[in-house]
């Protein structure tokens, strides 16, 4: 597999073309940002941890019947993926109130939702990823009705699979963000699943085991990322 030119650089990853037009190489960086890039930093070996963790979780989801872009791990920081066209939507799944939902609705963090909450944001850094609903999604053609139904179905199924998996590792899955892409006309899971994109709390102590340690300057950032991976492996 030959690595060709970089075609995209995001806040936490770089994407490269390869000699196979149907495959990309994703390279995970240690860079960390929060509040739409206002806070900048670096978490030592985050790229290695997020690459491993995403690979492991994509494999778990594939085995459970969810199609993903994941092909194989290539190195500490690189994975081979299907060359998807990313849908411009962030799909957020919430089991417990935290973060922006707590702020928006005046809910204490930790309040358990009576039902799983799904939210969608338009992926656009300049606009700060604004929340959108089904009407916006169809009006702006971010996704078709059929595609949105698939996103919702996959997101809820992924939630059930991941909740159970994390619980067995003594971690509560509070909320998380997914991105999907199109590959050969099909919607498949893409991007990453890591402590950057999930809120995970220790079952016994409720210690925050995710990027909130960086966002909120809670300390032990590197150690916590290492500990999450240690529990999953
Ligand atoms: P929020 O409470 O800040 O809206 O975040 C909800 C979930 O989405 C949380 O698990 C963190 C994740 N997330 C991202 O992966 N990327 C982002 O840019 C944001 C704002 C949140």
Give the chain's domains with CATH numbers: 3-82 (3.30.200.20), 85-220 (3.30.470.20)
SS3 of residue 185 by DSSP: coil
- CA 136 distance to own-chain centroid: 22
The answer to whether residue 155 scores a pLDDT higher than 90 is: yes
176 Cα: distance to centroid of ligand 1 (angstroms): 7
- What pTM was estimated for this model as a whole? 0.97
160-203 pLDDT tens trace: 999 999 999 999 999 999 999 999 999 999 999 999 999 999 99
30-40 pLDDT tens trace: 999 999 999 99
Among 32, 177, 193, 201, the mutation site with the greatest number of ligand 1 atoms within 8 A of its Cβ is 177
Which residues have any ligand 1 atom within 6 Å of their CB?
Answer: 92, 98-101, 129, 175-177, 197-199
Q: Token match 């070996």: residue?
A: 45
Burial 179-213 (b: 16+ CB within 10 A, else e): bbbebeeebbbbbbbbbbbbbbbbeeeebbbbbbb
18 Cα: distance to centroid of ligand 1 (angstroms): 30
Query: What's the mean pLDDT in 35-46?
Result: 96
Token duo for residue 102: 């707590």
- pLDDT for res 89: 98
Residue closest by Cα to atom 11 of ligand 1 = 197
54-95 pLDDT tens trace: 999 999 999 999 999 999 999 999 999 999 999 999 999 999
Strand-pairing partners, residue 122, are: 89
Residue closest by Cα to atom 15 of ligand 1 = 197
């Amino acid at each position: 597999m030959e690595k060709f030119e970089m075609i995209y650089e995001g806040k936490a990853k770089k994407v490269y073309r390869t000699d196979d037009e149907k495959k990309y190489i994703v390279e995970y960086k240690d860079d960390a940002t929060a509040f739409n890039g206002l806070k900048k930093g670096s978490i030592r070996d985050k790229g290695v941890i997020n690459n491993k963790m995403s690979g492991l979780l994509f494999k778990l989801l594939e085995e459970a019947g969810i199609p993903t872009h994941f092909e194989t791990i290539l190195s500490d920081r690189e994975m081979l993926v299907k060359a998807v066209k990313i849908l411009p939507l962030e799909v957020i799944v919430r089991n417990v109130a935290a973060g922006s939902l707590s702020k928006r609705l005046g809910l204490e963090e930790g309040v358990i939702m009576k039902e799983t909450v799904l939210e969608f944001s338009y992926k656009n850094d300049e606009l700060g990823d604004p929340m959108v609903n089904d009407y916006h999604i169809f009006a702006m053609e971010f996704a078709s009705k059929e595609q949105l139904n698939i996103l919702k179905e996959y997101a809820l199924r992924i939630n059930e699979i991941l909740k159970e998996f994390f619980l067995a590792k003594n971690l509560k899955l509070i909320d998380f963000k997914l991105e999907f892409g199109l590959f050969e006309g099909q919607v498949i899971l893409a991007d990453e699943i890591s402590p950057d994109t999930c809120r995970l709390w220790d079952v016994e102590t409720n210690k925050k085991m995710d990027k909130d340690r960086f966002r909120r300057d809670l300390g032990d950032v590197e150690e916590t990322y290492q500990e999450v991976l240690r529990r999953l492996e």
